[in-house]
Amino acid sequence: QVQLVESGGDLVQPGGSLKLSCAASGSISTIYRMVWYRQAPGKLRELVANMHKSGDTYYAYAVKGRFTTSRDNAKNTVYLQMDSLEPRDAAVYYCRADYPWRQSWGQGAQVTVSS
């Protein structure tokens, strides 16, 4: 079992930056991929980025070049650095851990982009 705790959600102005954290605990060694999703009001949850345990990353077209996912193995934490934020990036952001035959989700972090 893996538990995830997210932090870092906030209100930011358009063009600003924000960094989300997703701290993992439990059976961390079994995790093979960490995934970031977001869900805006009235919209479906959409994939934002992911990172395989190999370090390979994937970014959705909408965020490519603006968002970066990274990890700190010593802290068992994955990050989502978000730059050049736009109002359309406003959403609840979720991290998810994939491990054999199971997934665990974080509680979500609210990101508001407004002037």
> Dihedral angle at the C-alpha atoms of 97, 108, 12, 48, nearest 10 degrees?
40
Residue that the structure tokens 């906030």 belong to: 10
Res 103: pLDDT:
96
8-56 pLDDT, tens digit per residue, is 999 999 999 999 999 999 989 999 999 999 999 999 999 999 999 999 9
State what percent of residues in the chain have pLDDT above 90.
97
Beta bridge partners of 58: 50
Confidence band for 61, pLDDT divided at 50, 70 and 90: very high
Give the span between the Cα atoms of 44 and 11, in whole angstroms: 22
